[in-house]
Amino acid sequence: MSEIKSFAKTLIIWQGQAGRTGLPWQGQKDPYRVWLSEIMLQQTQVQTVCERYRIFLERYPHLASLAQASEEDVMALWAGLGYYTRARNLLRCAQQIQQKYGGEFPQDALTLATLPGIGKSTAAAIAAFCFLERTSILDANVKRLFARLYGISEPLNLTKTNQQLWGIAQRALPASKTDMPQYTQGLMDFGATVCKPSKPRCLEPSQISHCIFQTHCQAYRQGQVDVIPYKVKKLQSPIVLSEMLLCIAQGKVLLEKRLSSGIWGGLWSLPETSWQRVDQFKEGQRAKSSFEDFQHILPNQLETVFKQGQLFAPRKHLFTHRTLYFSVRVLQLKKLLPKLPTQYVWQPISGIDQLGLPTPVKQLLIDLVI
């Protein structure tokens, strides 16, 4: 397979003329800011990240301030961005850099990739932008670009295909390390705005030759743009049901701190039944629940109150690998519940929206009590 001549040079010129502008992390040399933007941009849209990046930096303007933060505060600030493991790793990584490297980021991609939450591509982005290392990023956008340019029709998740793409990406680098920031930015911009997952520029009817690589691109030449990257057929995501319990008493709501591992780990949520998987889902179906599911928090004399609790229609929440339908049972209680396990806390309704809550639970509380 022949290399595309002057790929790096062409991309750098394109970036200067047509790349994205105005993103708050662009042109950054500060590894803390580059790292933060890279982590936030994983699985979250650019528009959402722009606002949240600014807020995060106001609260934690440098690594030392983040390293001293509590997990609870970081989780609260991260709420709504999803994929909460990123937030926990962000904190662990800041603490490790503080303790092991005296608060300074390591300057090479290999060492950076040993830190919590920093994968090979993120490490390369930090090393290239901040320390001018000649090393390539290879996120989903860049994989797609190289797969199309080189007509690679095998699934991208195969180890063999991945190694092939890393090789291509490394050989495509500019000769001079001073070009690394603009080249890396060019790769990101090109994948996000030209060689997009659907409707890449070359397939837009109104655009005549608006991709700078059109004459070299194997996928384009072979009419394979629609099928590269090869899409692995997704299995239908499993459906799970749950019932949450919303106990309200004396202007407070009973919340549970979830374990730090697992879905919504470390966030505040409502007590709920276990998640019940269903094979045949019918619209409106709700989780099976009984008083026993909540007996660890509800005393026996509340069984009748529980059974008479107001039931609300199930709400839907999509995760990447499953769909949750959660219903809610509301109990208006006269007194706060006594002798609760330590992970349960009565929170005043007035400050509840400041806590780290999963987005659908927060919305539910906004709709029903706040």
Residue 361 CB-density burial (10 A; 0-12 exposed, 13-18 middle, 19+ buried)? buried
Q: Which is nearer to ligand SF4, 141 or 289 (CB)?
A: 141
The correct pick among 220, 264, 306, 325 for binding ligand SF4 (CB under 6 A) is: 220
Q: What is the residue-wise DSSP string for 50-80?
A: HHHHHHHHHH--SHHHHHTS-HHHHHHHHTT
Q: What minimum distance in Å lies between the beta carbon of 156 and ligand SF4?
A: 14
Considering the complex, state which of residue 206 and residue 300 has its C-beta at the smaller distance from ligand SF4.
206
> Is the Cβ of residue 5 or residue 339 nearer to ligand SF4 in the bound state?
5
Q: Output the smallest distance, CB 43 to ligand SF4, in A.
A: 22
Tokens at 251, concatenated: 């202007």
CB of 222 to ligand SF4, least distance (A): 10
Residue with tokens 């655009």: 207
Query: Is 243 a catalytic site residue?
Result: no
Between 78 and 213, CB nearer to ligand SF4: 213
**Distance from C-alpha of 9 to C-alpha of 16, rounded to nearest angstrom:** 11
| Shortest Å distance, C-beta 211 to ligand SF4 | 3
From residue 190 to residue 219, the character string flagging contacts with ligand SF4 as x (rule: CB under 6 A) and all else as - is ----xx----xxx--------x-xx--x-x
For ligand SF4, the closer of residues 63 and 145 by Cβ is: 145
Cβ(121)–Cβ(139) below 8 Å: yes
* Nearer to ligand SF4 among residue 150 and residue 264 (C-beta): 150
User: H/E element holding 180?
Assistant: helix 180-193
Rounded to the nearest whole angstrom, what is the least distance from the CB of residue 214 to ligand SF4 in the complex? Answer: 4
Residue pair 243/287 in contact (Cβ under 8 Å)? The answer is yes
Amino acid letter for position 95:
Q
Min dist CB 148 to ligand SF4, Å, is 4
**CA 126 – CA 108 distance, rounded (Å):** 8
| Residue in 38, 133, 243, 272 annotated catalytic | 38
Site residues for ligand SF4, 317-346, by CB under 6 A, read none
Closest approach, Cβ 152 to ligand SF4, in A, equals 12
CA-nearest of 142, 106, 146, 143 to 127 is 106
The reply to whether 148 sits near ligand SF4 by the rule CB under 6 A is: yes
Cβ atoms of residues 127 and 115 within 8 Å: no
Tally of CB atoms within 10 A around 368? 14
In the block, residue with structure tokens 């629940």: 289
For ligand SF4 (CB under 6 A), the number of binding residues is 15
Nearer to ligand SF4 by C-beta: 76 or 228? 228
- Retrieve residue 33's tokens: 């800011």
Unique residue bearing structure tokens 């690679």: 152
8-state DSSP, 150: T
- Euclidean distance between CA atoms 147 and 53, whole angstroms: 31
219 in Cβ contact with 313 (< 8 Å): no
Which residue numbers are catalytic?
38
Write out the residues near ligand SF4 by the rule CB under 6 A.
145, 148-149, 194-195, 200-202, 211, 213-214, 217, 219-220, 225
